[in-house]
Structure 1
Amino acid sequence: MKEILVVAGPTAVGKTEYALKLAQRLDGEIVSCDSMQLYKYMDIGSAKPTKEERALVKHYLVDEIDPREPFSAAEYQKRAKAAIAEIHDKGKLPIISGGTGLYLNSLLYEMDFSAPPRRDGYREKLEQLAHEQGKEAVYRLLAEKDPDAAARIHPNNTKKIIRALEAVETTGQGIPAFTQVRTPVSGYKPCLLGLTRDRQELYDRINARVEILMKQGLLEEVKGLLGMGLSEDDISMKGIGYKELIYHLHGKYDLDTAVKKIQQNTRNYAKRQLTWFRRYDKIKWFELSMYESSEKALKDMILWVDKNK
């Protein structure tokens, strides 16, 4: 099995900084595991690595996808595995860095993204139901047949709702939650580092970063994306920072309120990320607030990686 190093943790904890340093010390290249950084034109709100950082270490799946195009976890899995193979072919260490749990799961566990077997006419029947009675009708049907799936799927995601209904109809059982998929992949030997901080320190970092992003021109970035024809209906524009500013531009609330909502939603997202990553039983956590310097934390990470190769 081939080694991969994972640097996971909540937003604003310092993943980009440490992944970059680890890549430089361990002769690695970085595969982003962030659902927003992969989009072109969305530079500020996604807190992408800078051009200078990307010049120091090669990054994959950053700045590659047009935000007007659909993108899925299945596509991420395909592209990320190709990047990992390319890095291995160079004799370097792939470093998976990011906070999107579903994307990381797609690399660590055996996940089947293929569509369920089709039952002739059933998808068309569901599509007709959605057209005639609205997407709410197919969502209610899913809630009856597979309440667990309905709890996980957004009511507006009609395509995924129909896929889940097809699974129930053709197999007699629903699609398992991705958090329940626990069969490790056979091709990789993962070494997992989890980065965390004192909660208040993390929240302060989140609040400060949002203010920095606003000063860097996040509002202007959102205006530019809307000018390209994107809207709140696009998946790419549902990211934190983008959706709140769209609502501001539509007059739903003032700018100060929008910024506060970005901060609050980011803090809540960080909580969910920590809950997700703590499910990984083999992850080694590093409490960065306990270190007197980032260099000391880095040395401990490298020591742990060396021991667990």
Structure 2
Amino acid sequence: MPQTERIPLLVIAGPTASGKTALAAAYAKKHGGEVVSADSMQIYKGLDIATAKPEESEKLGVPHHLIDFLDRGESFSVADYVSLAGKTVRDIYARGKLPIICGGTGLYISSLIDNVIFDDTGSDPEIRSRLENEAKEKGNHALWLRLRECDPETAEKVHENNLPRVIRALEVYELTGTPLSQHKVNSRRESSPYDCCIIGLTASDRQYLYDRINKRVDIMAEKGLVEECREVWENGGLATAAQAIGYKELIPYFEGKCGLDECIEKIKLETRHYAKRQLTWFRRVDNILWVEIDKFDDLKKIIEKVENTVAKSEIMCYNIT
């Protein structure tokens, strides 16, 4: 591949339960593509049901990458994702296939398509430990307020309950004296190697999406969500799993403090809140082309809509095959 050639890349993004997985697999099947996951929790082994990993039947025989490859407890940063996903995309394209990024982790997707180059700002275990202890003593909101003072741009984009990112932003500021948001500006000095078409799935009726979320949680429970979460809880995997909705919400049930139905309803509520945050994130993405899933009767019609949208975007990826 010539150094100046840009890689065609189809991105299918959107909130949880919007049908990204089914669309990506079906589109890839039809157009000779391979799917690269952009989900920060599906990377971990053994966290299957709560993270909605696609089953083999759902993959339609299409290769899916960056799913189920990392042991629980191992760290995996955004920089790691950009590096690994970039290599995977280049390999798929070199074999004459269409790379399709599919997922709901907005930070992963934005960092990849914007070609973010991560500075080696380093880390300091003492700073991190101090900030973690402060969060326990004073609460997450107190740390977030401090972040808002020194780096309001990052604070606006990071929820106060996303403690690892709040702590990392504060750590970077203490280490370098420069806000994390400025580091990110500096990291985008090189142009993107990708010719992207970004499809965002949404619903004109928010309740339609919420009903899909509620139904999916019920299906997860039927498939063994509670048993999976109990195994994780009993075997010390909660530090990692707690980042995924569906695990920590069941702890009160395991401890005999709440009934199962109440905990399942809590999972539904937190998942709906998460979907709302995802939509807020993706609305800030430039050039995203929205497809309203509640305006179509079935997946086939959604695929046709996406095909027309991709064709009008005039990017290379539609003609790769």
TM-score (norm 1): 0.85
How far apart are residue 86 of structure 1 and its match? 1.2
Alignment counterpart, residue 207 of structure 2, candidates 200, 204, 212: 200
Question: What CA distance in whole angstroms lies between the structure 2 residues aligned with 1:166 and 1:189?
Answer: 31
Residue 251 of structure 1: CA displacement? 3.3
Distance 1:17 1:136, change over 3 A: same
- CA distance in 2 between partners of 1:141 and 1:278 (Å): 24
1:15 aligned partner: 20
Matched residue, 1:146: 150
Q: Distance in 2 between matches of 1:159 and 1:303?
A: 38
**1:69 corresponds to which residue?**
74
Shift of 1:37: 1.4
Q: Say which is worse superposed, 296-305 or 12-21, in terms of deviation.
A: 296-305
Give the counterpart of 2:222 among 196, 212, 215.
215
Match of 1:194, SS state, is strand
| 1:163-242 mapped onto 2 (5 Å cutoff) | 164-168=170-174, 170-171=176-177, 173-176=178-181, 185-197=191-203, 198-231=205-238, 234-242=239-247
**CA, structure 1 residues 223+286, in 2 after alignment: closer, same or farther (shift >3 Å)?**
same
| Residue deviations 1:74-128 (CA, integer Å, cap 9, x gap) | 111111111111101111010001111111111111424333278xxxx477468
Which residue, out of 287, 290, 293, partners 2:298?
A: 293
Q: Structure 1 residue runs of 4+, over 4 Å off?
A: 127-145, 153-160, 177-185
Q: CA offset at residue 289 of structure 1? A: 1.3
Supply the AA of the counterpart residue of 1:202. Answer: L
Change (3 A) 1:297 1:228: same
**Does 1:250 find its partner at 2:250?**
no
Give, in whole Å, the separation in 2 of the partners of 1:285 and 1:132: 42
User: Quick one: which amino acid aligns to residue 273 of structure 2?
Assistant: N
CA contact (8 A) 1:139 1:150 kept: no
Q: Report sequence identity in percent.
A: 39
8 Å Cα contact 1:38-1:64 kept in structure 2: yes
Q: 1:48 to 1:179 in 2, by over 3 A?
A: farther
TM-score by length of 2: 0.82
Q: Is the 8 A contact 2:121 2:175 kept in 1?
A: no
Equivalent of 1:97 in 83, 102, 106: 102
Residues 220, 132 of structure 1: alpha-carbon distance in 2 compared, 3 angstrom cutoff: closer
Amino acid aligned to 1:103: Y
Q: Following TM superposition, by how much is the alpha carbon of 1:303 offset from its aligned partner in structure 2, in angstroms?
A: 2.2
Change (3 A) 1:133 1:3: closer
Distance, in Å, in 1 between the alignment partners of 2:297 and 2:183 is 37
Deviation track 1:202-243 (CA, whole Å, cap 9, x = no partner) reads: 111110110110011101001112233223xx1333211111
Deviations 1:164-206 (A, max 9, x none): 34435534x3111899887784210110111112211111111
CA–CA separation in structure 2 for the residues paired with 1:178 and 1:289: 39
Stretches of structure 1 lacking an aligned partner (at least 5 in a row): none
Query: 1:161 corresponds to which residue?
Result: 167
SS in 1 for 2:15: coil
Aligned residues: 302
- Unpaired segments of 5 or more residues in structure 2? 1-5, 316-321
1:3 correspondence with 2:8: yes
Q: SS at 2:242's partner residue? A: helix
Correspondence for 2:3:
none
